[in-house]
Structure 1
Amino acid sequence: MENKYNLSEREAKFLLKKSLVELIHANSRLEKVNTTFPQTKTIVEGMSVSGISMDDVQIILNLKNAYQYILNEQASFTLNVAKKINSFVSYNESLDWGVVRYGDVGIHGVNYTPSIPVEADVAQHIETILSNDLTSTTYRALKYMYYAMRTQIFWDGNKRTALIATNYIMLLNGNGILHIDESHLEVWNRLLSEFYETNNDEAIIEWTYNHCIFGIDYKL
């Protein structure tokens, strides 16, 4: 699996900034937020929208803050960066945001139950995934994302945190953006459930690579 894109830092940041509202809108759908795209854009721009619950507004603003964080951060990706992303994503939502989960959680719709993660083991596993120079940086980013989701590293916001963290890894490497459009959610959720049950990520990584990675395509 090769990198689809090899963008410069300037191109990569430009792409993420231009896609920001679209990404926030798509990520909010994971929490069943039902704002329209124009409503999401209005909230991101700091204006109020009538008829939208404060909980939904909080989710959107948390996503905005998390994306702003990765646009300004320059450090290599580690568990500490993931914890910082989660601290934005789960602010005022989670039992305890920005820390590795220290109790049991379940995942709706599957029999698989994640064990309580050990922080040192998680940090080492992330380092192992991202340091595998026999694979492309895009593959490593996707491998990390699905590991993080299945492990349920945090108390809440694991999918949103993993998506934004993956976009940060791809930003650092100029690999484009990861965008799971609302029209793809049914297929993605089915593949994700299968992955949770089997711990075989080959199918969902290949599908994500083929359908959910975008960049800048120049036409000469």
Structure 2
Amino acid sequence: MTYPDKYQMTIKQAKFFAHKNLVNLIYDNSKFEGTQTTLPQTQTIVDGMSVAGVSTDDVVTIVTLKRAWQFVIANAQPYTIEISNKINAKVAAADSLDPGNFRTENVSIDGTDYVPPILSTEEITTTIQQILSPKDVASESMTDKLLKLLLTMMRSQFYWDGNKRTAFLTVNYLAINAGIGLFNVSENQLPTFNTLLSHFYTTNEPHELMDWLYQNCIYGLKL
């Protein structure tokens, strides 16, 4: 299956759309970490106010996602791996052994026996370059490339922690600056996403997950 771009927005329009949906994006992304906050509570935390009955861990997850999304929306320089490193440094600031730096030891992934290999900085950079600038697939859409990048970053576990959040924010950084929409898994889509993701981790067969993400998880302004 090919994945044509669904949206054609200017960068200004894409940033506006992301900003208008900021709280929802933070709320949905926080569910990767199992936060128990409601959407109104998330809004209050994003606004900088305290909320009774919300754990410190949940508050930290939301605040770090807010900072990462603000970075994504505010910046437009050409992508390099340093963008992803900065995103990871923000989202995993309280979780990671070494926020913003690639892992140097094995990690396990919940729900699968797959153990991703440890990659060098050069290997990671080359992997991403080959996805974003393939030599033999000139007709590939940006959406196609970003779906591949999203899956590769999640399965490869480049960082010590925060890999799903970093992958989605990296892809959205590129998507916003290409004007092709936002990639987001909503809270009610999470059970299906987790099932498909676990299958992908185990089998390295990407098409079912890519198809589902393309059909259900890309949003934008129809102009």
Shorter-chain TM-score tier: over 0.9
Of residues 161, 166, 184, the one that matches 1:161 is: 166
TM superposition shift of 1:78? 2.2
Instruction: Map residues 1-220 of structure 1 onto 2, 5 A cutoff.
Output: 1-132=3-134, 133-218=138-223
Distance 1:170 1:191 in 2: 22
Q: Post-superposition shift, 1:197?
A: 0.9
Deviations 1:9-51 (CA, angstroms, capped at 9, x unpaired): 1110110001110000000001010100000000001010011
| Number of aligned positions between the proteins | 218
Counterpart of 2:18 in structure 1: which amino acid?
L
Q: Which amino acid in the other structure matches residue 68 of structure 1?
A: Q
Is the CA contact (8 Å cut-off) linking 1:78 and 1:126 kept in structure 2?
Answer: no
Question: In the aligned structure 1, how far is the partner of 2:174 from the partner of 2:208?
Answer: 21
Structure 2 unaligned spans of 5+:
none
Task: Return the offset for 1:92.
Answer: 2.0
Code of the residue aligned with 1:110 in structure 2: it is: T
Taking structure 1 as the reference length, the TM-score comes to 0.97
With structure 2 as the length reference, what TM-score do the two structures score? 0.95
CA shift, 1:164, in A, is 0.8
Residue 104 of structure 1, CA deviation? 1.0
Q: Counterpart amino acid of 1:134?
A: S
Where do 5+ consecutive residues of structure 1 fail to align?
Answer: none
Matches of 1:49 and 1:99, distance apart in 2: 32
Hey, what's the Cα distance between the residues in 2 that align with 1:67 and 1:213? 17
Q: 8 Å contact 1:78–1:127 — kept in the other structure?
A: no
Alpha-carbon contact 1:130-1:140 (below 8 Å) kept: yes
SS at 1:210's partner residue? Answer: helix
